[in-house]
Amino acid sequence: MSNNLKKNLFKLQRSKTNSGMLGYVEKLIRAHPLLYFFIRCLVRYTNIFEEDAKGVKFLNLDKNVNVMDVGASDGIAAKFFCRNLNVKNIICYEPNAFYVKILRKLNINNLIVKPYAIGNENTSKKIFFPRYKFFNKNLDMIPYTFYDKKTLLAQLKLDIKYRKNIKIVEKKLYLKKVKKFNFKIDLIKIDVNDNGLSVINGLSKIIKRDKPALIVETDSDILKINKKLKSYGFNKYSFSNINNKFIKINKKFPLNTYFLQKKHLKNSR
């Protein structure tokens, strides 16, 4: 087993975004690619999102916030933020053309769509994602995009029970450096499947300048991300839906990690 795969498998876990009964239903949905694709399309028209994202409502933010959504997908997170926060501007970074079309049709005021990925330099990388063939129709499972093919295969084996008619597609992803904004960024959400450190490096000037609250999907680079953000004065937290509180992380990282400074906290322990 390669060192890269070992590193990625260290943080590999079943792709559940909810717990309890919803988590069980989600597990069943992910078992078959056709069901997963169908339900994923339906979710766009609901208010469902990852349960720990509720924590944004308990952050001490400005009255009107500017949000950066990196890995915006089909806009499910952007809609959640707009429902739960007083959003002034929301900037969505999403390199997939299919999702970009969906984002540009969203009825969200002051939505800015950036059709590329973020990096600390202008470059390109290989990406891999599963494609499910249903009769003559190709259904691309874009949320399962990874930068490492072996890690993707391991994740599919963990999540998807029925893997027949799935093939792995390789494409090139273009990354760009972020230009400066003439307004303060208050909240950054990062969900980019093992490219989080590159995004953090690419946004380092904005993070040091504005000190936004960050929600980062936990990936194989989470320890490096934590070290980097700790040097900027951030601490790592999980959000408890039971107690409606942020709790400092000691060892085990949750699905999504909040990186916060004291100014962001209302109720914590």
Q: Which of 26-35, 66-75, 135-144 has the highest mean pLDDT?
A: 66-75
Q: What is the pTM of this model?
A: 0.85
Does position 86 have pLDDT exceeding 90, yes or no?
A: yes
If one compares 5 and 233, the residue with the highest pLDDT of the two is 233
Establish if 269 belongs to a structural domain: no
Range of the domain at 244: 3-264
Q: What is the mean pLDDT of the chain?
A: 86
Distance CA 235, CA 252 (A): 14
**Residue for token digits 């069901």?**
35
Confidence at residue 116, expressed as pLDDT on a 0 to 100 scale: 93
Using one digit for the tens of pLDDT, what is the confidence trace for 104-146?
999 998 999 999 999 888 999 999 999 999 998 999 988 889 8
Which band of pLDDT confidence, cut at 50, 70 and 90, is reported for residue 13? low
**Stretch 252-263: mean pLDDT, rounded?**
93
Does position 2 have pLDDT exceeding 90, yes or no?
A: no
Asked if residues 72 and 44 have their Cβ atoms less than 8 Å apart, the reply is no
Does position 202 have pLDDT exceeding 70, yes or no?
A: yes
Give strand pairing partners of 176: 118
**Residue for token digits 């960024």?**
185
Q: For the chain, first and last CA: distance in Å?
A: 40
Distance CA 24, CA 57 (A): 26
Q: CATH number of the domain at 86, please.
A: 3.40.50.150
Domain count, the chain: 1
Q: Categorise residue 171: left if φ over 0, alpha if ψ from -120 to 50, beta otherwise.
A: beta
Structure-token pair, residue 149: 């093919």
For residue 135, the Cα-to-chain-centroid distance in whole angstroms is 31
Which positions ≥6 away from 258 have C-beta within 8 Å?
55, 213, 214, 215, 216, 236, 237, 238, 239, 246
Helix (H, G, I), strand (E, B) or coil at 94: coil
Establish if 147 belongs to a structural domain: yes
Helices (H), the chain: 3-10, 20-30, 33-43, 76-84, 97-104, 149-159, 196-202, 204-210, 222-230
Q: Across the beta sheet with 137-140, what order do the strands follow? A: 117-118, 166-176, 123-134, 137-140
